[in-house]
Structure 1
């Protein structure tokens, strides 16, 4: 029983229908669409393609955000020299960024470091602290600057509209600095798709509590985050992101180069195994593959390897942080988890319409598998990203006894429980569409 979920990025190596189906069989719970390489109409087409090939799996649309990249030419930065930063060197106006003297500019994922020495009118000069060769269109970071660029551009709004139209379960927002952009997008899409805030800027870390509360989940996007911070700071910030998400009961995703070597190799390095295992032990809801499945030579093998690492490194001792921080909201969920532990039940069946009860159970991190029985395929797809939740789709009878039997029998048919197995049931007796208010032991 694997509780940590796996997200795989769809790309040229994995978009064929048989490949998508093979990835799901290997362990993928949610597919990611990277909007950086697609037009908005292509985003919608890819959503529809994935939905036809694998209708039971969730989709996360990762919105690109502003492009802070160098221009279209190759540059050589010589360490120790002082240079003028010209408009053609960057694909954007440095003045509009809000940069000040004494601040750093990191180029090519932090491999090149510049220090702004003077700003006089339209002229900006910088000293090259760490030099190197810079290919066209490489990423640029401003770790010391309160960047003024809007988090969304015209293409992003088009991609968000495509995600909404296509029925994607999740949207990941780039360049999040505070909770305001989350509220703006929620005003556009409503309750669905759910919103993941990518934590990749120093400003986001300064506002992490508010961002986590406002979003439905957070992603430790370690590529840009690793350029914004000193490399030795990243592990502590990664753990902080996971801890806060657990306290707030939100989905958390660990991303970027988790098994990068498997783009070309048939097995991960020992360091990559330790990285994935560390994320699992830190309590992340999900781990993510990017280029490994988008352009790698064996995407299915990469997913299989990641699933093996997750299986071998999960602990099910129950994380109490959410229950301690939210005793009222978690009361029924925490009691359900405790009853399952006391009775030795290996599974909890949660009868749910909206998925809320199962989300609360997931936040309580029980040792038992959470089987979320819902009549909604849309809810089932969304719940696949929640830690420890296995969704099943079955009709919800208004008679509670019949509803429980239907859910139990569906779980048996799908091989999730045995026909004579004891399970704990969590549901609402007062109103079948309200939050769970009752728990009991069911033994067929």
Structure 2
């Protein structure tokens, strides 16, 4: 994280960024985690990108996160028998399960839709209202017209559709991603907490599970979904279609605050620097949008088409990096984070809060946390410490997952085995990262007995100079 940037950058890999040379440029520009979007590209494409990223990780000696984003049960129209057509406001259309005027090959929709429900086509550009339905047809009135095209996406903000959380394609993609060794798996179109169950059973702790919030029904069960997930993505593309656009900013703040309360990393995604797909600079509104996510306390902000297919992928990452730096340096930033600080309502969270407060009181250059699972790092990150947090773990997979977590700089170290090793390893890590010098003391958080998850129970202040002394 150049310049001790705290918020992380996620960049999507695609045709514009898949080459090893461009991936290197993106990493140098500031990417912390790369996203492989399984809605596009072949398994071979994703394998090549994965291998190139891991080669860069070995070269730079820096843990890099890789996030697999599953396509999910995306609802789309079928092929229009007469080709593209213009539909007018007030016109009546018939959507059919089989061949017909407008094919919609999703029987679950015909079972769930009701008169008065909205059907939004092509990201809401065309809006329909259901008038009547049976098992194989939906009669709908056009509320907003336009050019209707084959295979366009359909959003149903008023309808809870009984679709499987994982399609057959998703299951095959998931097994492939896990065989590669992805660090995170993002589940699309989550509607209810139960949607996470099958994915968690298949993953079996081999990766972290990210719940994508993009359905109104997910907002109704938000706390349970966040609790079940390992991380959350605010996917504002579909969410912004299915709820009024004016509601999106407030919902974004609610989700980020809840994720901080539950120690879950949260990503803000979609259209953050959209104009940089075709231009080398963003709009002022886009710069403000990225900054707002940082002020809100997001762990990470994400680039989609900007890096996957845009003309200026490296420039988009560099711009996002600069916006984050400027925002985090602003006098209002610390106050905005303090206003949404989580409660220290458990012993583990109280220790994390105490470590942050102690580091501030003694002006420690860093907090060092020893963790076998990364949980200590996530709890400290939730309190948004103004000092860097260095997480030491013996598990490379944990170190890579931390590349998504606010303010964490992770290093892979041998497992701690005794008390005397703790200050020495902490000092070596801090000095290796160029944080602090002999005039400083650091705050160290760890647990006893060593290597047992959930036993973080110790805070100590270690002078850097004293830590060099040989143990007695």
Q: TM-score, normalised by structure 2?
A: 0.89
Alignment counterpart, residue 434 of structure 2, candidates 408, 415, 424 = 415
Structure 2 Cα separation of the partners of residues 146 and 22 of structure 1: 43
Between 144-153 and 93-102, report the one with greater CA deviation. 93-102
Between 187-196 and 266-275, report the one with greater CA deviation. 187-196
Equivalent in the alignment of 1:60? 67
Could you tell me whether the CA contact under 8 Å between 2:75 and 2:106 is conserved in 1? no
Structure 2 Cα separation of the partners of residues 437 and 91 of structure 1: 56
Question: Displacement of 1:323 after TM fit?
Answer: 4.4
Give unmatched runs, 5+ long, in structure 1.
none
Could you tell me whether the CA contact under 8 Å between 1:394 and 1:410 is conserved in 2? no
Structure 1 Cα separation of the partners of residues 89 and 346 of structure 2: 56
Alignment counterpart, residue 331 of structure 1, candidates 350, 357, 362 = 350
Equivalent in the alignment of 2:28? 25
1:178 lines up with 2:192 in the alignment: yes
1:289 lines up with 2:309 in the alignment: no
Alignment counterpart, residue 360 of structure 1, candidates 367, 370, 379 = 379
Alignment counterpart, residue 80 of structure 1, candidates 90, 93, 114 = 90
Question: Displacement of 1:406 after TM fit?
Answer: 2.7
Task: Report matched runs for 1:86-165 at 5 Å.
Answer: 86=96, 87=98, 89-93=102-106, 96-97=109-110, 98-120=112-134, 122-165=136-179
Per the alignment, do residues 393 and 418 of structure 1 end up closer, same or farther by CA in structure 2, a change over 3 Å counting?
farther
RMSD: 1.9
Question: Displacement of 1:85 after TM fit?
Answer: 1.9
1:71 lines up with 2:78 in the alignment: yes
Task: Report matched runs for 1:267-286 at 5 Å.
Answer: 267-286=281-300
Could you tell me whether the CA contact under 8 Å between 1:200 and 1:220 is conserved in 2? yes
Question: Displacement of 1:388 after TM fit?
Answer: 0.9
Per the alignment, do residues 184 and 322 of structure 1 end up closer, same or farther by CA in structure 2, a change over 3 Å counting?
farther
User: Per-residue displacement from partner, 1:49-91 (whole Å, max 9, x unpaired)?
Assistant: 3222334211000000013112234232111111222445345
Alignment counterpart, residue 189 of structure 1, candidates 192, 203, 217 = 203
Equivalent in the alignment of 1:430? 449
Equivalent in the alignment of 2:364? 345
Could you tell me whether the CA contact under 8 Å between 2:118 and 2:157 is conserved in 1? yes
Equivalent in the alignment of 1:441? 461
Could you tell me whether the CA contact under 8 Å between 2:115 and 2:133 is conserved in 1? yes
Equivalent in the alignment of 1:382? 401
Question: Displacement of 1:129 after TM fit?
Answer: 0.6
> Following superposition, which runs of at least 4 residues in structure 1 exceed 6 angstroms of deviation?
none
Equivalent in the alignment of 2:421? 402
Give unmatched runs, 5+ long, in structure 2.
466-472
Structure 2 Cα separation of the partners of residues 305 and 294 of structure 1: 16
Per the alignment, do residues 180 and 322 of structure 1 end up closer, same or farther by CA in structure 2, a change over 3 Å counting?
farther
| Corresponding pairs, count | 444
Structure 1 Cα separation of the partners of residues 459 and 105 of structure 2: 57
